[in-house]
A and B are shown apart, each in its own frame.
Chain A
Amino acid sequence: MRNPELTRSANPATNWCMAYGSHFRHRALLALPLMGALAMAGCISVNAPDKPIVIELNINIKQEVVYRLAQDANATIETHPDIF
């Protein structure tokens, strides 16, 4: 690929790509809104749920962790009756 800077002052279009490539690029740009419209047609509309949204506190805490800790936590509660 030649540097376009070097050919600008003299003969700019020395091959097909140089002569018409930019036109094709413009055409691709013109086609963008159309492509966008096609993409929008594929969108899914989401409606708000009827039921109240349940707050899931600490969603990252796994059930298996809770099960693993349950026995120890129960013993902790039993041995500290003043704060539970």
Chain B
Amino acid sequence: MATLSMRKSFAALAATGLLLSAIAVPATAQNRDPAYAAARAAGQVGEKMDGYLGYVTPAAPALRAVVEDINIKRKALYAEKAQANKATVEEYALTSGCLLIAQTKPGEKYQAPDGSWQTRGNGPPLRDSRCP
């Protein structure tokens, strides 16, 4: 049901002229681990300010394994890209966190600058003052 309404909203986006983003987003969703995608949609996991995934509610070991695996892969990628850009891993991760929070879809969870978990609404998310 959730995916059905998401598809509808994507169709609406395409109709309003945002064709490019509407094509890119379903492709992203398809590549995610199904357990991660489901937990993300259900608001069990959210995007943290530091560029990693966090648990909004206590997660089962199976989900925890998936999320930790993603976070390890993210850290490796941040480290590689940070070195290429002559920045620290934390700097690159925080920058990514800014962008990832901005890219959350309505209903998904993200961490606000005060550390609290917020549900993304239709408006812009609450982000760190240094975010671009």
Chain A positions within 8 Å of B, measured between CB atoms, are: 52, 54-58, 61-63, 65-70, 72-74, 76-78, 80-84
Q: Is the CB of B81 within 8 A of A61?
A: no
Set B70, B74, B92, B113: member contacting A69, Cβ < 8 A: B92
- B interface residues, how many (CB within 8 angstroms): 35
Determine the chain A residues whose CB is within 8 A of the CB of B44 once the complex forms. Answer: none
- Best-buried of A55, A82, A84 by chain B (most CB within 10 Å): A84
Given contacts A57-B49, A65-B87, contact A77 B99 (CB under 8 A): yes
Does residue B73 face the partner (Cβ distance < 8 Å to A)?
yes
Q: Is the CB of B103 within 8 A of A58?
A: no
Given contacts A70-B132, A82-B31, A82-B32, contact A57 B100 (CB under 8 A): no
Once bound together, how far apart are the Cα atoms of A54 and B113, in whole Å? 7
Set A63, A67, A77, A83: member contacting B103, Cβ < 8 A: A77
Determine the chain B residues whose CB is within 8 A of the CB of A73 once the complex forms. Answer: 81, 92, 95-96, 99
Determine the chain A residues whose CB is within 8 A of the CB of B96 once the complex forms. Answer: 73, 76-77
Once bound together, how far apart are the Cα atoms of A74 and B129, in whole Å? 18
Q: Can you list 29 contacts pairing A with B, beta carbon distance less than 8 Å? A: A55-B114, A55-B115, A56-B113, A57-B50, A58-B50, A61-B88, A61-B91, A62-B130, A63-B130, A65-B87, A66-B91, A66-B94, A66-B95, A66-B98, A66-B131, A69-B87, A69-B91, A70-B132, A72-B81, A72-B85, A73-B81, A73-B92, A73-B95, A73-B96, A73-B99, A76-B96, A77-B96, A77-B103, A83-B77
Determine the chain A residues whose CB is within 8 A of the CB of B128 once the complex forms. Answer: 57
- Best-buried of B85, B95, B103 by chain A (most CB within 10 Å): B95
Determine how close the nearest CB of chain B comes to the CB of A60; give it in whole angstroms: 9
Given contacts A52-B114, A82-B32, A84-B28, contact A69 B85 (CB under 8 A): yes
